[in-house]
Structure 1
Amino acid sequence: MTVSVTGQVVWRLLRLLLKLVLVPLLLIGRLLGPAARRLVDKLDEKYRVKEDWYIAPYFLAAVPKYAWNAYHQRFQYWYLFEKQVRKHGNSLCITYPRPLGRKGQFEVERFTYQETYEVVLRLSHILYFEYGIREGECVAMDVTNKPMFIFLWFALWNIGAIPSFLNYNSIGTPLVHSIKIANVKTVLIDPQAAKPIQQTQAEIERELPDCKLRYLAENELLARILDTNSPKFLQDVALRSPSTLSDFSPACLIYTSGTTGLPKSAIMSWRKAVIGCSLFGHVLRIKNNSIVFTAMPLYHSTAALLGVCAVFSQGGCVAMSNKFSASTFWEQVYLTESTHIQYVGEICRYLLHSPLSEYESKHKVKVAYGNGLRADIWQEFRSRFNIEVIGEFYASTEAPFATTTFQRGSFGIGACRSYGTFINFILSYQQTLVKMDPEDDSTVYRNDKGLCEVAPVGEPGEMLMRIFMPRKPEATFQGYLGNKKATESKVLRDVFRKGDAWYRSGDLLKADSHGLWYFVDRMGDTFRWKSENVSANEVEDQIMSFDNQAFSAVAVVGLKIPNHEGRAGFAVLELSHKSKYMEGNVDFLNDMLKYLTGKLPKYALPVFLKFVDVIDHTDNHKISKKNYRNQNLPHGRAGNEIFYWLKGGKSYVALTNADWNDIQSGVARL
């Protein structure tokens, strides 16, 4: 039996390798005439061999090279950066449209790789000899988006210290916890981000008396590190890269709050920063002449790893905005001559709902990459802003791997993983979607043997990523610093056989017949009502599609209703400035209800709704749904909110005290 199964696997692999080897010949065949070109196109449509041919050779070459560097204790990103300085010293490394006094006015600053390297060495001298920062220490950075963020970050890497990227909006107990959990010795504070630290300083000094708060005199510091006569410091290799350091040791710490509790400090390993980001940059076609614009905060992994690290790994340039502004976004993109932009789905909506800008037709952007771009606005976004390619990906801060797509045309709209037959086959041993319990889609299904099963095509399943050494999971999934319980909660064991281990994403995805994967929901975003599972993401999509100009944002969650099983759908609506509707327009809500009735099953229709001026978002521009999962019905905490409810399942009306009493007592049926 074992020989037979092994033989089948080997044969399948050989067939796939044969297809991969045939690709160059097929490409040559395109030159031989119409018949050959039709054959090439037909094979590529079925197997997507061109994309696999682009990705696979790079990966097959990069992994042994990385293993060689790891063997010689040169796996830290610093050495990759030094290589790019030697190779692309005169190429652009950082571009920054520094905001001036009046909104919409910028002064563009530019630094080459060689200039950046020398600035980093001068700053290293200050940090080492004046601030006393040493190798192995954890140093927190409380810094906004600007070149100084990258200068400090790479200076710490040169010294051999571990940067910890604080959320500069964090204040009070969460801020103290973030510093404490990482055993931070020094906090470097940008004047623009200083207020929350200042307001928490007494608490920090009381609980962490040995932690030094270093308020940076930014202008003075910039003058010193830009002065070519200032001294430089290059750390001794033996101190930066001791033999005790492993490639899954922390390269930096990035905080993720999840949905509840205090911030968790996710470990970004050197392996992820180097090989993971290099592969990501290659897939997204970032080249030496690419300029990638990001308005995402650099303290998040999207901008830090999939922005800076991915771009520098290819010798490209990072263009950063001090903060996101829909009104000046395209102006900054134009001024920096960017070829790529980063997004999250909410940013795409903001841009679509923004007034026409003269700069949106002048830019040079060909690729937009990020996550959360919904299928209903995918093509509209690309069409309005003249974007050729959407690079939707799936990733999370702590996840050991990511998925990518490089989508052109009309095939694969909405997918977050799109590869050809060969790469899909390889990834099937490392990534999977597992079937969920039919009665509770927050729990994975286990069969009579106590094992999981792969989710059928078209059926949502939790995405899992294999931990290759179950007895030493930290080699694949480093988890959260100082939080063993949270780390272990992300590891699922005995999945397909006894003793195996997989990282749990906590997200539901589904596959189609072409092998493409699509994001469905956070597991917490799927709620149960009327004994059925409701996808918050699907309901949001349908509400938004009722009228593309009616809403700026929509958030759907499940509300716990007294004396009722499950959670009732609750939609929070933020009207667009382009909307022709007014808050409280019940006729509008009921017109929307008629539309939704034809698009959603009855159990998925929102039972409650309310309008808000602005929907709450996280610092990374994602909707903060946790703020809406608990509501004080019938009139909110302040007693002056207006809620609407689906009375009798037929129409939306304003919720009254009498209605609420009837709902709680069961007189009125939801």
Structure 2
Amino acid sequence: MSQTTQHDLIGIADVAAKIPGFISKVPNLLSGLKQAYLRTPNTPAGLGIAFERAVKRNPNGNALLFEDQKYTYNELNAWANQIAHYCLSIGAQKGDVIAVMVENRPELVASIIALAKIGVTAALVNTAQTGKVLVHSINLVNPIALIAGEECREAVDEIRNDLNLAADRFHWFADQATRQNAGTAPQGFINLASVIDEFPTFNPATTHSVKGKDGLFYIYTSGTTGLPKAVIFTNSRWTLAYGTYGHVLNLNEQDVMYVTLPLYHATGTVVCWCGVIAGAATLALRRKFSTSSFWKDVKKFDASAIGYVGELCRYLMDAPPSELEKGHRVKKMIGNGMRPNIWDKFKERFGVEEVLELYASSEGNVGFSNVFNFDNTVGFSPTPYAIIQFDKEKNEPIRDKKGWCMKVKKGEVGLLVGKITRRSPFDGYTDAEKNKSVIIKDMFKHGDSYFNTGDLVRDIGFRHAQFVDRLGDTFRWKGENVSTTEVENIVSEYAKIAEAVVYGVEIPNTNGRAGMAAITLADQAALDAADCKYMAAEFKKHLPAYAVPVFLRVQQKVETTGTFKYQKNKLKEQAYDPSQTDERILVLLPNSEAYCDLTADILKNIQAYKYRF
């Protein structure tokens, strides 16, 4: 994050200047806030109710576009209803969990709506997961069934004997337009597209029995350490996002939101889709982001809004100019991670007027949204929070002589914490012990409780903030949270590596931090060219692409503290600069199949942004 300037700080006069542009949003925003805040845990709420409301508002308008497929609100609703009635027929009931592992396509959207309508929590499994990590993620939430896309079948087949699922609970969607052609399911799977044909298309009676406290999604996050954690996303929390982010976007039936972000993440499935449902607008979906196809799709779908994360913006800025990037309808974008150094350039180059940058986490209870359309900020927060002084070395808040935490001054950086209240609850993880580890008590007075976001932000005034960095053992790369412990476990399994310490390092002109592993070799071991190729292949096989270490530092021994904690701060500071150490540093360059030694020329080219990591 670049250093803040006086220009970034926000005061009353700055907000007053934004009021004229904000007024047109007020009626819609007030309607959303009413729905968001006039709710209780026992109030009927959630995606199912909101989607059925959008169906009534725009029954014959397009709800979903994907490749050459189109589904009106009536058609998508009927499809989801058939899936819902089928799930009820196999005994699914409110409170149950069904794991869903399908890439961005209509079958995923219909399944999510269906489960929301019957109060079944959809565990949105990361489609990049394989092996032990996939087993852990699915078994963790005790699902009664699995819905897998053909594109994920190989990963499921490899581990199906390790899953705590009955043999007749594996469901399958062909990787095609299954409403037109259901395909033939492989042995061991029930063809969901075929079996739902005999079920009714009317709304199930269960929709309005789903309450705010009921689970809607499990979204997987790396949290701060270890294997993925399943974060419960309740219907109440979804309704809060729907009433705020969804209505701030201010879409209507003529709008089309183009989303290339994975729907197993909250930015895509909650933030972007909320805005679409709130406006009874159209969701235009792409399976995976593509720089070369982005503006072609925008034109094809006649998109008027886009969802983003920081990496997506950087890739678009890096691409050569195209006549397609102008003359489109896109004036709004919503997401997170827009870098300050490209914010103005992005708006000017692509003709975007509103960057609705926001801050939220899957497990957190505090959110910011750029409702006033300021530059270089995650926006304004109506939820109770504090930005407190924090000691990064001790990894704890700084307290005064009386033991109370201290807030930072305007313009300063501190730890963001969200106050836990009835209106801003902390829904938490599936593991009660992990919940305890992220709650700070007695911060400003006896008995108060705050959620520790693990994020450093800058207070820029008028309840606005700038994101600065992440703390702890998680870093963000390519729009994904990377768990260092998970990567350390995989890297350490390589025969010649005795120990590994993983951390994130910054590469100029990129978003987030790239993975770097300080490795200690087994006795008498040495890495040759074959190792450099085989390591890359093994890491790519067992880790998602975004988690594969970009740099390796070959150490004689791992430095630890007196309590045997790794000295990561020193490693982060030295990063991959050969002048900071006489140890060997390897790099996995883009599109390369092997690690190579980091030479002075390669370092120079990295710093000059010659490689597109």
Structure 1 length normalisation: TM-score? Answer: 0.67
Deviation of the 1:515 alpha carbon: 5.0
Contact 1:434–1:461 (CA under 8 A) maintained in structure 2:
yes
User: Is the aligned partner of 1:464 residue 2:417?
Assistant: yes
Whole-angstrom distance in 2 between the partners of 1:196 and 1:228: 25
- By percentage of residues, which structure has more helix? 1
Output the amino acid matched with 2:428: G
- When residues 620 and 273 of structure 1 are mapped into structure 2, their CA distance, relative to the original with a 3 A threshold, is farther
**What letter corresponds to residue 455 of structure 1 in structure 2?**
V
* Alignment pair present for 1:247 and 2:217: no
Residue 632, structure 1, aligned to residue 589, structure 2? no
- Tell me the SS of whatever aligns to 1:450: coil
1:488 corresponds to: 436
Of 76, 79, 93 in structure 1, the residue corresponding to residue 49 of structure 2 is: 79
Q: Distance in 2 between matches of 1:160 and 1:561?
A: 46
The equivalent residue for 2:566 is none
Paired with 1:628 and 1:634, the residues of 2 have a C-alpha distance of 20
2:268 and 2:122 mapped to 1: Cα distance? 15
CA distance in 1 between counterparts of 2:300 and 2:446 reads: 56
Alpha-carbon offset, residue 61 of structure 1: 4.4
Amino acid at match of 2:342: I
Aligned amino acid, residue 163 of structure 1: A
Residue aligning to 1:340: 305
Question: 1:172 is matched with which residue: 131, 142, 155?
Answer: 131
2:98 counterpart (130, 133, 139): 139
CA distance in structure 2 between the aligned counterparts of 1:351 and 1:213, rounded to whole angstroms: 39
C-alpha distance in structure 2 between counterparts of 1:350 and 1:94, whole Å: 25
Larger Rg: 1
Asked if 2 retains the 8 angstrom alpha-carbon contact of 1:296 and 1:620, the reply is: no
Cα distance change of structure 1 residues 333 and 215 upon mapping to structure 2, 3 Å threshold: same
The aligned runs of 1:287-302 (5 Å cut-off) are: 287-302=252-267
Deviations 1:114-144 (A, max 9, x none): 2211222233344444x55444321111101
Give 1:461 shift. Answer: 0.8
Unaligned runs of 5+ in 1: 1-41, 98-107, 419-423, 528-535, 545-551, 563-611, 637-641, 657-670
The residue aligned with 2:460 is 512
CA deviations over 1:2-57 (Å, ceiling 9, x no partner): xxxxxxxxxxxxxxxxxxxxxxxxxxxxxxxxxxxxxxxx9565564446656666
The residue number in structure 1 matching 2:578 is 645
Deviation string 1:292-315 (CA, Å, 9 cap, x unpaired) is 111111111111001223321221
TM-superposed deviation, 1:352? 1.7
Letter in 2 for 1:632: V
Counterpart-to-counterpart distance in 2, 1:71 and 1:555: 38
| 3-state secondary structure, aligned to 1:111 | strand
| Equivalent of 2:63 in 84, 93, 100 | 93
- Do 2:82 and 2:197's aligned partners in 1 also have CA atoms closer than 8 Å? no
Q: Deviations over 1:44-96 (max 9, x none)?
A: 65564446656666555445556767598421321221111111112221111
TM superposition shift of 1:266: 0.7
Partners of 2:419 and 2:304 in 1: CA distance: 34
Indicate the residue corresponding to 1:565 in structure 2: none
User: 3-state SS of the aligned residue for 1:258?
Assistant: coil
Q: 2:200 aligns with which of 215, 226, 232?
A: 232
Write the distance in 2 (CA, Å) between the matches of 1:189 and 1:203. 16
Amino acid at match of 2:130: I
Matched to 1:501, the amino acid is: S
Counterpart residue identity of residue 158, structure 1: K
Aligned to 2:384: 430
- Residue of structure 2 equivalent to 1:476: 425
The partner residue of 1:122 within 73, 82, 97 is: 82
Contact 2:386 2:407 (C-alpha < 8 Å) held by counterparts: yes
Deviations 1:191-240 (A, max 9, x none): 11212111212322xx5457822223455842377999964155653x55
Partner of 1:366: 331
CA contact (8 A) 1:337 1:364 kept: yes
> Equivalent pairs: percent with the same residue?
25
- State the match for 1:417 in structure 2: 379
Check whether the contact 2:339–2:511 (CA below 8 A) recurs between aligned residues: no
TM-score, structure 2 as length reference: 0.72
Separation (CA, whole Å) in 2 of partners of 1:516 and 1:220: 44
Task: Provide the rounded CA distance (Å) in 1 between the counterparts of 2:598 and 2:254.
Answer: 58
Paired residue total: 506
What is the 5 A alignment of 1:587-598? none
**1:185–1:210 CA contact under 8 A, matched in 2:** no
1:562-577 equivalences under 5 Å are: none
**2:251 counterpart of 1:286:** yes
How far apart, in 1, do the equivalents of 2:36 and 2:578 lie?
58
Q: Structure 1 residues 309, 222: closer, same or farther in 2, change over 3 A? A: same
Q: Which residue of 2 aligns with 1:7?
A: none
* 1:577 aligned partner: none
> Does residue 181 of the first structure (1) align with residue 140 of the second (2)?
yes
Task: Tell me the SS of whatever aligns to 2:54.
Answer: helix
CA distance in 2, matches of 1:236, 1:52: 39
Q: Cα 1:165–1:553, aligned 2, differ >3 Å: closer, same or farther?
A: closer
CA distance in 2, matches of 1:189, 1:558: 33
Q: Is the 8 A contact 2:48 2:117 kept in 1?
A: yes
Task: Give the match's secondary structure for 1:632.
Answer: strand
Q: Which amino acid aligns with 1:216?
A: F
Aligned to 2:173: 216
Aligned counterparts of 1:81 and 1:620: Cα–Cα separation in 2: 32
> In structure 2, what is the Cα distance between the partners aligned to 1:501 and 1:464?
10
Worse-superposed segment, 295-304 or 209-218: 209-218
Q: Which amino acid in 1 is paired with 2:470?
A: R
- Give 1:414's aligned amino acid: N
Query: In the TM superposition, what is the alpha-carbon distance from 1:346 to its structure 2 partner?
Result: 1.1
Residue deviations 1:134-157, cap 9 Å, x none? 443211111010111111111122
1:260 equivalent in structure 2: 225
RMSD of equivalent CA atoms: 4.1
- What letter is aligned with 2:120? A
SS in 1 for 2:244: helix
- SS of 2:122's partner is strand
User: 8 Å contact 2:78–2:201 — kept in the other structure?
Assistant: no
- Structure 1 contact 124–156 (Cα < 8 Å) conserved: yes
What residue number does 1:317 align with?
A: 282
Cα 1:648–1:93 change in 2 (3 A) is closer
Question: Distance between the aligned counterparts of 2:345 and 2:369, measured in 1?
Answer: 21
Preserved CA contact (<8 Å) 2:41 2:236: no
Please give the alpha-carbon distance, in whole angstroms, between the structure 2 residues aligned to 1:199 and 1:278: 41
Structure 2 counterpart of 1:232, which letter? P
C-alpha separation in 1, matches of 2:59 and 2:265: 27
Aligned-partner Cα distance in 1 for 2:419–2:58: 36
